[in-house]
Amino acid sequence: MLKDFMPPHIYRIENQPMYFDPVRKKYVPVTPRETVRQRVVPYLIEELNVPQRMIRIGEKLSYYGLPFRHRADVVIERFDRAEQSARPVAVVECKALETPLDDAAFNETFDYAEKLGCDYCILTNGEAVFCFYLDAESYVELEAVPTYREMITTRLRNAGATF
């Protein structure tokens, strides 16, 4: 469970508190929202077995060819052998602990998932975690976040494709 994953060590660089982000391989400022991101990453890798190379943090939606300037907090990708490229399978929206997980937060998460064509979307503030699966035309809340293997296997089964 995400609650078991604590934020990483805080470094002081030029007198500013920073985390070292293992995915982006750089130091990032400590903020309430970044603290949640830094707890999500080891959860994805260690608990859900997401390969680190399949995680993108703070990625612009334009990276995926979308005409939007927004950034997704965390995108989990799968490799599409037919297209020889990585495609989003899930998006994780991280909010600061004190930010309410209200309709606006859920709608933002669903919006990113729809724009990216994700089968799954996750919303968290570091304490509460909500996971949804796109079933036909609507998102269905899941009781637990699926593992990476379950995410891509479900994707394969629903898409009827071979990857």
- Which residue reads 């903020």 in tokens? 31
**Domain-located, residue 54:** yes
**Residue 45 φ/ψ, nearest 5 degrees:** -75, -50
pLDDT at 132 over 70: yes
**Domain-located, residue 16:** no
> What is the biggest distance separating any 2 CA atoms in the chain, rounded to whole angstroms?
53
**Domain-located, residue 124:** yes
Q: How many CB atoms lie within 10 A of CB 26?
A: 10
Assess contact for 97 and 36: CB atoms under 8 A: yes
Our count of domains for the chain comes to 1
pLDDT at 69 over 90: no
* pLDDT mean across residues, the chain: 90
**Domain-located, residue 2:** no
pLDDT at 84 over 90: no
Cβ neighbours of residue 113 closer than 8 Å, sequence gap 6 or more: 90, 91, 120, 121, 132, 134, 139
**Domain-located, residue 5:** no
**Domain that includes residue 57, residue range:** 31-159
Query: How much is the pLDDT for 83?
Result: 74
**Residue 53 φ/ψ, nearest 5 degrees:** -70, -10
**Secondary structure letter of residue 66 according to DSSP:** -
* Helices vs. strands in the chain: H and E counts, helices first: 3, 9
CATH value at residue 135:
3.90.1570.30
Assess contact for 115 and 61: CB atoms under 8 A: yes
**Domain-located, residue 81:** yes
Nearest to 117 by CA among 140, 158, 154, 87: 87
Distance between terminal CA atoms of the chain? 29
Which segment of 8-12, 52-56, 96-100, 132-136 scores lowest on mean pLDDT? Answer: 132-136
